[in-house]
Amino acid sequence: MKRLYVSCLELEVMTRDLANKIKADNKCYEKIFTFPRGGLPGAVQLAHLLGIKELVVENPLLRALFFNNGFKNNFDEFIFQDYSLGSDGLTRIKDYLMINKDNALFFDDLSDSGRTLAPYQSLGFDTAVYFFKDIRGVKPPTYICKKVSKKVWIDFHYEQVNAPMKRDRDI
């Protein structure tokens, strides 16, 4: 399998490319949702470039809210409520999250199997990635920097735990 090392500088260029594609579509997202491992570093930079103040890291609770407690209103907004049972036996709404599918972007560093982004794509949300492995049957994200073969293994600079730190000028 071919390996592709992606440096910090390359990711910065790719993030700017994604931001420019989004701006060219006149999209104005209010929230970026991302995933705790690979998507978080790029989502932070993308949020800064697009002036998005709200960044939400997806987690099992959020996923459960999306697919179990969520409902859609007449304005194409998904509303998620977190319920708790009070000591008096009454159900209380602890918190809610309202997401308009046209104002929220889901970002990850890589889409290979498509499993991470597919549930959100099926709900109509826009998605963005640095790399998309073009595999038959996998729906492509809305915004893609680079398509790569399914035979390419991508090593991001932030995943190199045991390797010595490499500066871009040393590569």
Q: Can you give the residue ranges of every domain in the chain?
A: 2-60+101-170
Signed CA dihedral, 2, 135, 17, 66: sign only: negative
| Mean pLDDT calculated for residue range 90-113 | 71
- Whether the pLDDT of residue 105 is over 90: the answer is yes
Per-residue pLDDT at 138: 87
- More reliable by pLDDT, 91 or 24: 24
Mean pLDDT, the chain, rounded, equals 78
Better pLDDT: 120 or 70: 120
More confident residue, 66 or 136: 136
Reported as a single tens digit per residue, the pLDDT across 71-84 is: 444 445 555 444 44
Closest CA to 2 of 162, 155, 112: 155
pLDDT tens column, 16-70: 999 999 999 999 998 898 887 788 889 999 999 999 988 888 765 556 555 554 4
- What local confidence, expressed as pLDDT, does residue 45 receive? 94
Cα gap 101→77, rounded to integer Å: 6
Select from 112, 116, 115, 157 the least CA-distant residue to 131: 112
DSSP letters, the chain, are -EEEEE-HHHHHHHHHHHHHHHHHTT---SEEEE-TTTHHHHHHHHHHHHT--EEEE--HHHHHIIIII-EE-TTSEEEEEEEEE-TTS-EEEEEEEEEETTSEEEEEEEESSSTTTHHHHHTT-EEEEEEEE--TTPPPPSEEEEEE-TTEEEEEGGG-SSSPP--GGG-
Average pLDDT over residues 91-108: 68
pLDDT over 70 percentage in the chain: 70
At what angle are helices 39-50 and 8-24 packed, to 10 degrees?
A: 50
pLDDT at residue 131 greater than cutoff 90: yes
What is the per-residue pLDDT for 89? 47
124-127-133-136 Cα dihedral, nearest 10 degrees: 10
pLDDT at 10 (0 to 100): 94
The CATH number fitting domain 2-60+101-170, selected from 3.30.428.10, 3.40.50.2020, 3.40.50.2300, 3.40.50.300:
3.40.50.2020
